[in-house]
Amino acid sequence: MVGHVKRVVLVTLGGVLLLAGIVMLALPGPGLLTVFAGMVLLARAVPALERHVEPVRERAMDAAEQSVSSNWRLAWSTLVGLALIGAGLVWALVPGLPLGGWSAGTSLIVSGVVLWVLLAWSYRRVRAERARAADAHARGAEAERPAGSGPGRRPASDPSGPGRTRRSGP
Protein backbone atom coordinates (compact mmCIF):
# COMPACT_ATOMS: atom_id res chain seq x y z
CA MET A 1 0.00 0.00 0.00
CA VAL A 2 2.77 2.45 0.98
CA GLY A 3 4.69 1.60 -2.20
CA HIS A 4 1.62 2.33 -4.30
CA VAL A 5 1.05 5.70 -2.62
CA LYS A 6 4.73 6.59 -3.03
CA ARG A 7 4.58 5.75 -6.72
CA VAL A 8 1.44 7.86 -7.24
CA VAL A 9 3.09 10.81 -5.46
CA LEU A 10 6.28 10.45 -7.51
CA VAL A 11 4.37 10.22 -10.80
CA THR A 12 2.15 13.19 -9.91
CA LEU A 13 4.96 15.44 -8.69
CA GLY A 14 7.28 14.35 -11.52
CA GLY A 15 4.58 14.99 -14.11
CA VAL A 16 3.83 18.44 -12.72
CA LEU A 17 7.53 19.35 -12.70
CA LEU A 18 7.99 17.97 -16.22
CA LEU A 19 5.06 19.99 -17.56
CA ALA A 20 6.14 23.12 -15.66
CA GLY A 21 9.65 22.72 -17.06
CA ILE A 22 8.33 22.39 -20.60
CA VAL A 23 6.31 25.58 -20.11
CA MET A 24 9.40 27.32 -18.67
CA LEU A 25 11.39 26.47 -21.77
CA ALA A 26 9.42 29.27 -23.45
CA LEU A 27 8.66 31.41 -20.39
CA PRO A 28 11.04 32.81 -17.76
CA GLY A 29 12.37 30.21 -15.41
CA PRO A 30 14.78 27.30 -15.18
CA GLY A 31 13.09 25.10 -17.80
CA LEU A 32 15.72 22.42 -18.41
CA LEU A 33 16.54 21.99 -14.74
CA THR A 34 12.85 21.63 -13.91
CA VAL A 35 12.41 19.10 -16.73
CA PHE A 36 15.41 17.21 -15.31
CA ALA A 37 13.91 17.21 -11.79
CA GLY A 38 10.61 15.91 -13.18
CA MET A 39 12.38 13.19 -15.16
CA VAL A 40 14.33 12.04 -12.08
CA LEU A 41 11.11 11.67 -10.08
CA LEU A 42 9.30 9.92 -12.92
CA ALA A 43 12.23 7.54 -13.43
CA ARG A 44 12.10 6.56 -9.76
CA ALA A 45 8.45 5.60 -10.21
CA VAL A 46 8.78 4.14 -13.73
CA PRO A 47 12.22 2.50 -14.18
CA ALA A 48 11.76 2.29 -17.97
CA LEU A 49 12.24 6.09 -18.09
CA GLU A 50 15.71 5.87 -16.50
CA ARG A 51 17.44 5.84 -19.90
CA HIS A 52 15.99 9.29 -20.68
CA VAL A 53 17.33 10.94 -17.53
CA GLU A 54 21.02 11.12 -18.47
CA PRO A 55 20.56 13.01 -21.79
CA VAL A 56 18.30 15.55 -20.05
CA ARG A 57 20.80 15.89 -17.19
CA GLU A 58 23.65 16.54 -19.63
CA ARG A 59 21.69 19.24 -21.45
CA ALA A 60 20.57 20.87 -18.21
CA MET A 61 24.14 20.93 -16.84
CA ASP A 62 25.46 22.29 -20.15
CA ALA A 63 22.86 25.06 -20.07
CA ALA A 64 23.75 25.86 -16.46
CA GLU A 65 27.45 25.99 -17.34
CA GLN A 66 26.84 28.20 -20.37
CA SER A 67 24.89 30.67 -18.27
CA VAL A 68 28.06 31.46 -16.28
CA SER A 69 30.69 30.80 -18.98
CA SER A 70 31.61 34.48 -19.31
CA ASN A 71 31.30 37.60 -17.23
CA TRP A 72 28.92 39.09 -19.81
CA ARG A 73 26.53 36.14 -19.61
CA LEU A 74 26.69 36.19 -15.83
CA ALA A 75 25.95 39.92 -15.76
CA TRP A 76 23.13 39.56 -18.29
CA SER A 77 21.55 36.67 -16.40
CA THR A 78 21.79 38.65 -13.15
CA LEU A 79 20.04 41.60 -14.81
CA VAL A 80 17.32 39.31 -16.16
CA GLY A 81 16.73 38.05 -12.61
CA LEU A 82 16.51 41.64 -11.39
CA ALA A 83 14.08 42.48 -14.22
CA LEU A 84 11.89 39.50 -13.31
CA ILE A 85 11.75 40.59 -9.68
CA GLY A 86 11.03 44.20 -10.68
CA ALA A 87 8.29 43.12 -13.08
CA GLY A 88 6.83 40.92 -10.37
CA LEU A 89 6.67 43.84 -7.97
CA VAL A 90 5.03 46.03 -10.62
CA TRP A 91 2.49 43.33 -11.51
CA ALA A 92 1.71 42.78 -7.85
CA LEU A 93 1.44 46.42 -6.79
CA VAL A 94 0.07 48.35 -9.79
CA PRO A 95 -3.70 47.93 -10.14
CA GLY A 96 -5.32 47.61 -13.55
CA LEU A 97 -2.58 45.64 -15.29
CA PRO A 98 -3.78 42.69 -17.38
CA LEU A 99 -3.51 39.52 -15.31
CA GLY A 100 -2.21 41.71 -12.49
CA GLY A 101 -2.21 40.87 -8.85
CA TRP A 102 -0.11 39.03 -6.35
CA SER A 103 -0.42 35.63 -8.04
CA ALA A 104 1.25 36.79 -11.26
CA GLY A 105 3.65 39.05 -9.40
CA THR A 106 4.71 36.32 -7.01
CA SER A 107 5.43 33.88 -9.82
CA LEU A 108 7.70 36.43 -11.50
CA ILE A 109 9.47 37.23 -8.22
CA VAL A 110 9.99 33.54 -7.49
CA SER A 111 11.34 33.01 -11.03
CA GLY A 112 13.87 35.80 -10.50
CA VAL A 113 14.99 34.43 -7.15
CA VAL A 114 15.25 30.88 -8.54
CA LEU A 115 17.31 32.25 -11.43
CA TRP A 116 19.74 33.88 -8.98
CA VAL A 117 20.00 30.73 -6.86
CA LEU A 118 20.69 28.62 -9.95
CA LEU A 119 23.25 31.15 -11.20
CA ALA A 120 25.09 30.99 -7.88
CA TRP A 121 24.96 27.18 -7.92
CA SER A 122 26.18 27.05 -11.54
CA TYR A 123 28.96 29.52 -10.85
CA ARG A 124 30.22 27.54 -7.86
CA ARG A 125 29.96 24.26 -9.78
CA VAL A 126 31.88 25.60 -12.81
CA ARG A 127 34.53 27.17 -10.57
CA ALA A 128 34.99 23.90 -8.68
CA GLU A 129 35.29 21.90 -11.93
CA ARG A 130 37.87 24.33 -13.31
CA ALA A 131 39.89 24.09 -10.09
CA ARG A 132 39.76 20.27 -10.23
CA ALA A 133 40.84 20.31 -13.88
CA ALA A 134 43.75 22.66 -13.13
CA ASP A 135 44.78 20.49 -10.18
CA ALA A 136 44.61 17.32 -12.31
CA HIS A 137 46.63 19.04 -15.04
CA ALA A 138 49.27 20.12 -12.52
CA ARG A 139 49.46 16.58 -11.09
CA GLY A 140 49.73 15.18 -14.62
CA ALA A 141 52.63 17.52 -15.41
CA GLU A 142 54.43 16.39 -12.24
CA ALA A 143 53.94 12.74 -13.18
CA GLU A 144 55.52 13.34 -16.61
CA ARG A 145 58.62 14.97 -15.11
CA PRO A 146 61.58 12.51 -15.09
CA ALA A 147 62.70 11.13 -11.75
CA GLY A 148 65.35 13.22 -10.05
CA SER A 149 64.44 16.36 -11.98
CA GLY A 150 62.66 18.10 -9.13
CA PRO A 151 63.72 21.48 -7.85
CA GLY A 152 67.26 21.56 -6.47
CA ARG A 153 68.21 18.35 -8.27
CA ARG A 154 70.82 17.96 -10.96
CA PRO A 155 69.39 16.61 -14.25
CA ALA A 156 70.60 13.17 -15.34
CA SER A 157 72.28 14.71 -18.40
CA ASP A 158 74.43 17.08 -16.28
CA PRO A 159 77.85 17.45 -17.92
CA SER A 160 79.62 17.22 -14.57
CA GLY A 161 79.04 13.46 -14.83
CA PRO A 162 77.70 10.88 -12.39
CA GLY A 163 78.93 11.05 -8.85
CA ARG A 164 80.11 14.62 -9.20
CA THR A 165 78.36 17.43 -7.41
CA ARG A 166 78.23 21.05 -8.29
CA ARG A 167 79.39 23.41 -5.66
CA SER A 168 78.40 26.98 -5.51
CA GLY A 169 80.86 29.53 -4.23
CA PRO A 170 84.63 29.20 -3.65
Assess contact for 34 and 57: CB atoms under 8 A: no
> Quick check: 156 pLDDT over 60?
no
> Quick check: 168 pLDDT over 70?
no
- What pLDDT is stored for residue 89 in this prediction? 93
How far apart, in whole angstroms, are the C-alpha atoms of residue 165 and residue 146?
19
At 57 the three-state DSSP class reads: helix
Average pLDDT of the residues in 74-99: 88
Burial class (CB in 10 A: 0-12, 13-18, 19+), 40: middle
- Higher model confidence: residue 30 or residue 132? 132
